[in-house]
A and B are shown apart, each in its own frame.
Chain A
């Protein structure tokens, strides 16, 4: 007699196997993945961190303020794309996900796996910015040694924010809307996310300073600034307060995940 079937163990095995599948597939295209994630930050770092300060169009410390923004943006976008694109295609017509949906685990775990794997992708993409920044910016490169644990937490949380947004987008967007939605969502996200400027510096444009607070990327960028920008003249660099940052990012993850799971279920079980 075979031992009785343990559902929880079966579901966990299925979950691990699905995660393993994503590792194998991404491992095979790791170089293209890195190129896709890093091309844009590479040039941003070079132009904004090296060229503009070099010709006197930006302050010399601009690089150290922008680097955290680039880390946040890269991680969030890489996580988001890693979830959204495959999901739109799969739910739209490819249906390659069917095999996983027919595995003996709750349907929403399949979405959870996508989110966790997207988070891993985002965190890896973010992490690669550090050696890249060190190489391009030279002395302009800085992190705060006393806040390394916060930094690690922020990198992961930022990627998680990206992958949960990716889940909701991936389940809402239809394949023929992909390019339009990317323009409509990415471009505003990119420029209102305090990536290239610290939030505190916006005080002269009050309406914009308030507007950017609706973009989760603002909090991610500020959180990374909190853990990276070195103190100047004995003072910590002013950022949004860490508790607010954590509250905003946590709320975003919760909201996007719950909504994403709901639409995911609606798309796969009708």
Chain B
């Protein structure tokens, strides 16, 4: 049995009118049963990448396969095995909610009885059972997203593509979708998602490729990616100190043995000055850091050990914030 679900090899997509390539020599592979994330800012080439994998875009160079089938050579066979949930709704608004699902399955040759039963089951699972005979006009963003996911599952694909699945959703809908995505994956579905949301990538993905300017910068598990931060972990120190004391505290924290880097961080909603001390093992610095603050003549308000986030990994790699 094929263990690689997606294989991308030196993929390049250049548009005639654009100077730089939208996708510029990208390679990665996704195993069956994995949730793989493409993370990067808008315009990084994530959607173009998905476009090639879902047969809507023809690559300029390189190749890609889904379940061992070449996307450029045999798009029809690829379409049978994939499902796509795009960034913006492309639901068929002339149809009622349930019909969107049953017609999708009919396009894929699912027999009538089977598709009607599956549609009812999925609509119930996604909490849409009581609105299945409505047209899509009255639906909220979160519901549109759920219907698109239900539709995607109607022909039982091997690989699901989710392009920015929770962009612009309220927190409740986001959590709901995250849970559904994890459930689907637990049942064996391979998922490739794009996101510019660090939290989302961290919560959902087994592996993440960070993209910028059409290239993949790194590709690893979230835990490994976070180890790229100098020192690995961080200690956050909050202290009530006057402005002139702050420099003394920075110097004292810097002087601690084991501290690789010290940053003053500014958070808008915090009343107290805050520092980040990066270190190999930040937990061993709790005592010394408290001592350093006290010795400077200030008072400790809070000490906490932080696992560096993907946000910081991205800043570390590109020198820019994601948005």
Contacts and interface: CB of A to CB of B under 8 A. Distances in A.
Given A25-B94, A106-B76, A17 B54 contact: no
A25 B107 contact: no
Contact of B79 (A25, A28, A103, A268): A103
B151 interface: yes
B58 A11 contact: no
Given A17-B103, A18-B107, A95-B86, A5 B80 contact: yes
B322 interface: no
A103 B107 contact: yes
B35 interface: no
A13 B108 CA distance: 8
A103 B107 CA distance: 6
A105 B55 CA distance: 12
A99 interface: yes
Given A5-B80, A25-B95, A99 B107 contact: yes
Interface in A1-39: 5, 7, 9-11, 13-14, 17-18, 20-21, 24-25, 28
Given A102-B79, A103-B79, A14 B108 contact: yes
Interface in B46-98: 51, 54-58, 75-77, 79-80, 82-84, 86, 88, 90-95
Interface residues of A, number: 30
B297 interface: no
B104 interface: yes
A100 B104 CA distance: 8
B158 to A, nearest CB: 13
A85 B51 CA distance: 25
A202 interface: no
B80 A99 contact: no
Nearest to A9: B109
A95 B87 CA distance: 11
B106 interface: yes
Contacts of A107: 75
Nearest to B92: A96
User: Looking at chain A's contact residues, is the secondary structure mostly helix, strand, loop, or mixed?
Assistant: helix
Contact of B58 (A13, A21, A96, A269): A269
Contact of A104 (B80, B86, B93): B80
Contact of A20 (B51, B84, B91, B106): B106
A96 B107 contact: no
Contacts of B104: 99
A117 to B, nearest CB: 13
Nearest to B109: A13
A17 B107 contact: yes
Contacts of B151: 99
A97 B100 CA distance: 12
Contact of B90 (A10, A98, A270): A98
B99 interface: yes
Contacts of B51: 270
B94 A104 contact: no
A20 B51 CA distance: 28
B79 A99 contact: no
A20 B102 CA distance: 12
Nearest to A26: B94
Given A7-B76, A20-B106, A99 B92 contact: yes
A269 B92 CA distance: 20
Nearest to A14: B107
Contacts of A94: 90, 93
Given A10-B109, A106-B76, A96 B56 contact: no
A101 interface: yes
Given A14-B107, A14-B109, A104-B79, A270 B58 contact: yes
B132 to A, nearest CB: 16
Contacts of A24: 95, 99
Contact of A102 (B57, B84, B92, B95): B84
A205 B79 CA distance: 57
Contacts of A13: 106, 109
A185 B246 CA distance: 74
A81 B95 CA distance: 20
Contacts of B109: 9-10, 13-14, 104
Pick the most buried of B76, B77, B91: most chain A CB atoms within 10 A of its CB. Answer: B76
- Nearest 10 A-B pairs (CB), nearest first? A17-B106, A103-B107, A95-B90, A25-B94, A98-B90, A13-B109, A14-B107, A104-B80, A96-B92, A17-B107
Interface of B: 15, 51, 54-58, 75-77, 79-80, 82-84, 86, 88, 90-95, 99-100, 103-104, 106-109, 151
Interface of A: 5, 7, 9-11, 13-14, 17-18, 20-21, 24-25, 28, 94-96, 98-107, 268-270
27 contacts: A7-B77, A9-B109, A10-B109, A11-B76, A14-B108, A18-B107, A20-B103, A94-B90, A94-B93, A95-B86, A96-B91, A96-B93, A98-B84, A98-B90, A99-B100, A99-B103, A99-B107, A102-B54, A102-B55, A102-B82, A104-B79, A104-B107, A104-B108, A105-B76, A106-B76, A268-B56, A270-B57
